[in-house]
Amino acid sequence: MQNKLPKREEVPPELTWRLEDIYDDEAGWEAELKKAGDAADKMASYAGRISESGHTLLELLKLNEEIELLLDRVYGYAHMREDQDTGNSKYQAFQQRAMSTYAGASEKTAFISPEILALSEEKLNEFYREVPELERYKRMIKEIRRLKDHMLDSEKEQLLASASELMAASEKSFGMLSNADLKFPSVRDSNGEEVQLSNGRFVPVQMSKDRELRKASFEAFYERYAEFMNTWASLYDGEVKSRIFAAKARKYNSAFEAAVDQNDVSPAVCDNLFASIHDNLDKMHRYVSLRKKLLGLDELHMYDVYVAMIPEFDMKVPYEKAKEISLKALLPLGEDYLDVVKEAYENRWIDVVENEGKRGGAYSGGVYDVHPYMLLNYNETLDDVFTLVHEVGHSMHTWYSNRAQSIIDANYKIFVAEVASTTNEVLLYHYMKDHAESVQEKAFIVNHFLESFKGTMFRQTMFEEFERKTCEMAEDGIPLTAEALYDVYLNLNREYFGKEMVSDPLIGWEWCRIPHFYYNFYVYQYATSFAAAVAIADRILKEGESAVAKYKEFLSGGCTRDPVSLLKIAGVDLTTRQPIDSALEVFGEAITEMEEIAGELERTMK
C-alpha cells in the first residue's frame, strides 16, 4: 500500500472505467441533458388527458420510457464522474444539474400515477383490447395500481416530487463531508512509519497484523468522526425526518412499512430475520470467543475485529491474479456467464484503485443501454478479491435483466439486489477453500467466510436494528441527538458481540460513517440475500446445470414478479425463517471447521 494516494490523473488508464462508452464527449452529455428536460416539458402537456383513449395512454408511456432512458444515461454518467473524484467541482456541478433535471422530470410527470389510478378497471381493460401495444406497460400499470391506497391526487404528487431533491440533501451532504471534506491524520505503526488514513484505507489498515497500528488508526479514525458528532446527527435526523414525512404523506403507519412496501415485501420478512438472528446470537458470541482465543489476546477490542484469526499467514492478491481466480470460481455458472465477465475485465467496465477524492467503498452501477460499471478501491487483500466478485455479481444481474426486459421492467427490486453478488462470493469461498495450497491458507479462507457471516448476517442486521430503533424514536417524538444515537449504537454493539468483546467507547460513533443509513432501510436485505445466496450456491454446486438454468431465469426476471416470488424460482422461500436458520447453521458448522483447522495447525507446530 502506498502511503500517499495518487491524484486522479496519475492513475493508469487501464485501471479506470471508460465512461466514453456512454458519451464520446461531454457535448453529448449536455445535449441529452437538454433533451431530457425538453421531453419532460412535452410530457407535462399530457396532464389530464390519460383517460382520453388507449392511444393517448400509449403515447404518454412511450414518451415516459424515452425520458427514463435519457435520465438513466445523463444521471449515470454524472454521478460516476463525480464519484471518481468527489473534490472535482466541475463534476459536482454535473451531478447537481443531472439531479435537478431528474427532480424536474419527476415533478412534471407526477400526474401519471394518480391519473392511471383514476381509471376504472373497465376503462383500462377496454384500452388493453383497443391498443395491444399497451401490453408492454402492463406490469408497470399493475404496480402503480398496487399502491393505490398510498397514492395522492395529481397536485399533491407533484408537490411531493418537487421535494425529492430537497429530501435527498442529507445523503448528498453526508457524502460530501465524508468523502471530500473530511481529512484524516496520519498515524504511526510499531516501526514509527507514518500511514495516511482515509475512508478507503481504514478497513485494510484494521486488517494489519500490527496491533499498535490497528489501535492507533481506530482511535484516530473515530475521534475524527466524533469531532463532527452534531453535524452527523443533524444529517441523519434530516434523513429520518424526510422518510417520516414521505410515509405520513402516503398514509403509511411507519417509515419502515413505507420502505418495504415499495419493494412489494412484507415487514414480516425483516421481523423473521430479527427473530432468527436473536435466537442465534450464541453463535456470534461463540465466534467472538474463538477469535479471542486464536489471536491469543487477554482482551479482544473492536480494533481486533478485522485482522485474520490466523495471524501467522498473510495473503496479498494482485488485481490480475484476482481476475484469474474469479473466472475459475465462477465457472459453475457457465461459459456464457464468463464471457461477459471477461468483457468487463478487458473493456474497462471497472474503476479499480483508490485515488485522492474518490468515493470510498464499492458498487455496481451503469447505464441500461450501454453496460454495467463497477467502482472498486482495490488494495490487494483477500477481502478485495471477494469485493470484486461481489460487484461482478451485481453487474451480471443487471446485464441479464437488462437484456431480457425493457427499461420499464428491468430494474429489479432492492430486496433481491444483493442475492447475485453474494452467490458469487459463496462460490468463490468454496473454490478457494477447495484449492488452498496449505492448511494455513485454508484457515485464512474459512476465516474470511466467518467474517462474511459476521459482517453480513449479524452486522447488517445490527445496522437495521439501529435504523428501526432510531426511526421509531423519531416517530415517537424523541430527539435524535448525537448522544442518543451514540447510546443506541453502543448498546446494540454490546448485545451483538457479547461479553468476550470489549466494546470500546469510540465504537459508539461508528454510526456516523455508515452511508447505508441514508439508503432507507436497505441493509437488512444484505442479510436476507446472504441467506438466499448460501442456499442458491449450494444448489448450483450440487445440482449443476438445472440449478444454473433456474438461477439465470431469476437473474433475468427484472421486476416482472414480486421479489419473494422471483427467489422461489431459484428455490428459496423467504416467507419462512427456514433460509435464515439454515444459513446460521452453516455459520455454526464453519466455526466448528475453524476450530478443527486451528487444532490441526497447533499440532503441526509442536
What does the mean pLDDT of the chain come to?
93
pLDDT of residue 3: 63
pLDDT of residue 1: 47
- The average pLDDT across 574-603 equals 89
Contacts of 422 (CB under 8 A, 6+ apart): 390, 393, 456, 526, 529, 530, 532, 533
Cell of 51: 383517460
Q: Would 581 be classed as within a structural domain? A: no
Tell me which residue range forms the domain holding 124: 8-167
Q: Could you read off the pLDDT of 502-554 as tens digits, one per residue?
A: 999 999 999 999 999 999 998 998 899 899 999 999 999 999 999 999 999 99
Q: Could you read off the pLDDT of 358-386 as tens digits, one per residue?
A: 998 899 998 999 999 999 999 998 889 99
360: left (phi over 0), alpha (psi -120 to 50) or beta: beta
Q: Which residues of 14-27 are buried (b: 16+ CB within 10 A; e: fewer)?
A: eebbebebbbeeee
pLDDT at 419 exceeding the cut of 50: yes
Q: Would 137 be classed as within a structural domain? A: yes
Q: Would 12 be classed as within a structural domain? A: yes
Determine the residue type at 534.
V
pLDDT at 40 exceeding the cut of 90: yes
pLDDT of residue 521: 92
pLDDT at 220 exceeding the cut of 90: yes
Nearest to 352 by CA among 382, 310, 320: 320
- The average pLDDT across 13-27 equals 96
Q: Could you read off the pLDDT of 91-121 as tens digits, one per residue?
A: 999 999 999 999 999 989 989 998 999 999 9
The CATH number assigned to the domain holding 160 equals: 1.20.140.70
pLDDT of residue 10: 95
Task: Give yes or no: 391 in active site.
Answer: yes
pTM above 0.85, yes or no: no
Largest Cα–Cα separation, the chain: 85
Side-chain half-sphere CA neighbours of 234 within 13 A: 7
Q: Could you read off the pLDDT of 50-84 as tens digits, one per residue?
A: 999 999 999 999 999 999 999 999 999 999 999 99
Cell of 226: 466524533
Q: Would 420 be classed as within a structural domain? A: no
User: For residue 142, with 0-12 CB atoms within 10 Å meaning exposed, 13-18 middle and 19 or more buried, which class applies?
Assistant: exposed
Q: Would 82 be classed as within a structural domain? A: yes
pLDDT of residue 383: 87
- The average pLDDT across 343-357 equals 96
Q: Which residues of 200-230 are buried (b: 16+ CB within 10 A; e: fewer)?
A: bbbbbbbbbebbebbbbbbebbbebbbebbe
* Integer Cα distance of 315 and 448 in angstroms: 11
pLDDT at 415 exceeding the cut of 90: no
Q: Could you read off the pLDDT of 263-278 as tens digits, one per residue?
A: 888 899 999 999 999 9
Q: Would 194 be classed as within a structural domain? A: no
Q: Would 604 be classed as within a structural domain? A: no
Catalytic residue among 391, 418, 425, 451: 391
Cell of 146: 398496487
Contacts of 327 (CB under 8 A, 6+ apart): 338, 341, 342
- Name 350's bridge partners: 374
Ranges of H-type helices in 347-436: 382-404, 407-410, 419-434
Q: Could you read off the pLDDT of 171-191 as tens digits, one per residue?
A: 999 999 998 899 999 999 999
User: For residue 112, with 0-12 CB atoms within 10 Å meaning exposed, 13-18 middle and 19 or more buried, which class applies?
Assistant: buried
Q: Would 28 be classed as within a structural domain? A: yes
Number of domains in the chain: 1
